Copies of this chain bind each other. A is one copy, B any other.
């Protein structure tokens, strides 16, 4: 159960990882769930590193549907754009603390920025392989394995996102997402501690499905 946001915020602000050798400490900016971090069309200000929480990156399609192109978790950096204009939305999914990473003075691409861009590209390409797959079982399996790895490789996955988010990420409806997770449960591969906490009982079988 989550405690009050301000407590979490304050407990972290004094010890940011990857602290630069600069005089001032970068402030942690707090975002409540569903709070917009930046919007499509907005001018790019900086990159963001997640201190705690989780973020979804998405685009709204003309017909109102939403395609989530990426989830970002603790420790990850996001916010890279080609132009100086954001072509995606970024929203906090849970209580989230961010530190912003400024560009160079001249607005030039520095090594860090390029690194983030490349990682984003790899993610997008990998995600393409997943979304292009046929079966919902494969999609969900890949999704869970990826999330487990990124959360530190533990057996228990803490989902920061709703079923709607997962559906918009994988190109499925919430019903199919739910049914597929239920199927994995019935197959004895996962166990649901609650809707947002999934225990992987048989990791090797899950990986087989996500092959």
Contact = CB atoms under 8 A, between A and B. Distances in A.
Interface of A: 59, 61-63, 67, 69, 82, 87, 109, 114, 117-118, 120-122, 124-125, 127-129, 131-134, 171, 211
A61 B125 CA distance: 13
Stoichiometry, as copies per complex, reads 2
A87 B62 CA distance: 33
A121 B82 contact: yes
The 5 closest A-B pairs by CB, nearest first: A121-B121, A132-B171, A124-B124, A62-B211, A82-B118
A85 to B, nearest CB: 12
Given A118-B117, A121-B117, A129 B61 contact: yes
A150 to B, nearest CB: 18
A207 B117 CA distance: 30
A129 B62 contact: no
Contacts of A118: 82, 117
A71 to B, nearest CB: 13
A114 B124 contact: no
Contacts of A129: 59, 61, 67, 69
Contact of A132 (B63, B122, B131): B131
Nearest to A121: B121
B171 A131 contact: yes
21 contacts: A61-B129, A61-B211, A63-B211, A67-B128, A67-B129, A69-B129, A82-B118, A82-B121, A87-B125, A109-B114, A114-B114, A117-B118, A117-B121, A120-B121, A121-B124, A124-B125, A127-B128, A128-B128, A131-B132, A132-B171, A133-B171
